[in-house]
């Protein structure tokens, strides 16, 4: 029986069948639903996506793992919201990692940047916590849906020893108590991986009304079952997501949605840089020239560089 056709939900039958029908690549988000729709959640895995993004920034391991946690948290959160645009996480703080930005588009494109003081990081010892890396500061969560729509922004203090503690603090502060995230990150064989499993109580219209006490009991059980997923299971690229969800929740009538791919993709382009340069005055453009009479623009997100020279009329021309 398909309960929520808008989602394209399919009832779980057998794990073998699911593994075949819902084949996911290494980078995806899969939505699931339990208890006839009163609980929903996501399973997110980032393989090449997180490795590509983190590797571009040439980060020490601890910072690479923090950024992996940050990225997969942003991807998981974006997948729980209804919006058409860009969700951005931005931290500003007084630790060696003084700023981190990660954004996710509704099309599943991710990118990130980090401001890191490597000298200060070296004073922290072997495995500093996220708290030591970030220091005191805040996380801003922004949802931008274009110029015609109101922009949403929520801000929360950085707390706890892991980044996810700050995100849970945000949910608590914004009165969204009934959402839990479990995050796993890993670095093996020179490759970063990250995964997230979430569960959330949802207002469900059209279902069979059940007593609040029973609903609460269902929710508690689901959180315990979700918590029983190991980091290895969340991350394992050989364990099909539908099979894992069936393994965890088959007694709760789990239903899944076909996986949606995620990818590393920046939104920078030579054209955008050219537009910015064109908007400057002649004097400002001259001021941007380096010793080689070139204007070099480096994207802080994907590390692509765009090199311009000024033509005889003083207009920027892309040379590489």
CB of 185 to Zn ion, least distance (A): 23
Give the residue with the Cβ less far from Zn ion, 31 or 297.
Answer: 297
- Cβ atoms of 40 and 200 within 8 Å: the answer is yes
CB of 56 to Zn ion, least distance (A): 9
CB of 75 to Zn ion, least distance (A): 18
Residues that bind Zn ion (CB under 5 A): 266, 268, 299, 301-302, 304
CA distances to 119, 269, 307 from 315, in Å: 40, 18, 13
Give the residue with the Cβ less far from Zn ion, 223 or 268.
Answer: 268
The whole-angstrom distance between residue 289's C-alpha and the CA centroid of its chain comes to: 36
CA distance 22 to 24: 6
CB of 229 to Zn ion, least distance (A): 34
CA distance 4 to 79: 17
Helices (H), the chain: 15-21, 48-56, 61-80, 118-122, 130-134, 163-173, 212-227, 231-235, 241-249, 270-278, 282-288
CB of 299 to Zn ion, least distance (A): 3
CB of 246 to Zn ion, least distance (A): 39
Give the residue with the Cβ less far from Zn ion, 57 or 221.
Answer: 57
- Cβ atoms of 133 and 116 within 8 Å: the answer is no
Give the residue with the Cβ less far from Zn ion, 202 or 268.
Answer: 268
CA distance 254 to 182: 18
CA distance 305 to 317: 14
Give the residue with the Cβ less far from Zn ion, 165 or 300.
Answer: 300
Give the residue with the Cβ less far from Zn ion, 101 or 179.
Answer: 101
Torsion sign, CA atoms 45, 48, 53, 58: positive
């Amino acid at each position: 029986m398909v309960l929520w056709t808008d989602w394209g939900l399919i009832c779980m039958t057998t794990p073998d069948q699911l593994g075949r029908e819902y084949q996911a690549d290494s980078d995806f988000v899969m939505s699931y639903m339990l208890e006839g729709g009163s609980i929903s959640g996501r399973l997110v895995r980032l393989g090449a996506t997180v490795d590509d993004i983190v590797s571009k920034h040439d980060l020490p391991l601890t910072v690479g793992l923090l950024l992996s946690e940050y990225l997969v948290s942003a991807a998981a959160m974006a997948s729980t919201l209804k919006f058409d645009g860009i969700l951005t996480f931005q931290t500003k703080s007084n630790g060696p990692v003084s700023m981190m930005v990660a954004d996710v588009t509704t099309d599943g494109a991710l990118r990130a940047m980090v401001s890191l003081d490597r000298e200060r990081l070296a004073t922290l010892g072997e495995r500093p916590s996220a708290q030591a890396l970030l220091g005191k500061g805040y996380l801003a969560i922004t949802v931008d849906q274009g110029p015609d729509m109101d922009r949403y922004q929520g801000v929360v203090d950085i707390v706890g020893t892991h980044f996810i503690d700050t995100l849970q603090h945000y949910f608590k502060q914004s009165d969204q108590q009934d959402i839990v995230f479990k995050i796993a990150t890993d670095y093996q064989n020179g490759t970063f991986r990250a995964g997230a499993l979430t569960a959330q109580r949802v207002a469900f219209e059209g279902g069979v009304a059940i007593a609040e006490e029973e609903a609460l009991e269902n929710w508690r059980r689901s959180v315990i079952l979700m918590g029983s997923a190991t980091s290895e299971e969340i991350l394992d690229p050989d364990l099909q997501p539908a099979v894992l969800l069936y393994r965890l929740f088959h007694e709760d009538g789990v239903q899944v949605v076909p996986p949606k791919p995620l990818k590393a993709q920046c939104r920078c382009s030579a054209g955008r840089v050219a537009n910015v340069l064109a908007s400057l005055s002649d004097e400002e453009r001259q001021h941007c020239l380096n010793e080689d009479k070139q204007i070099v623009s480096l994207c802080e997100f994907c590390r692509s560089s765009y090199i311009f020279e000024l033509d005889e009329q003083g207009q920027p021309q892309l040379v590489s």
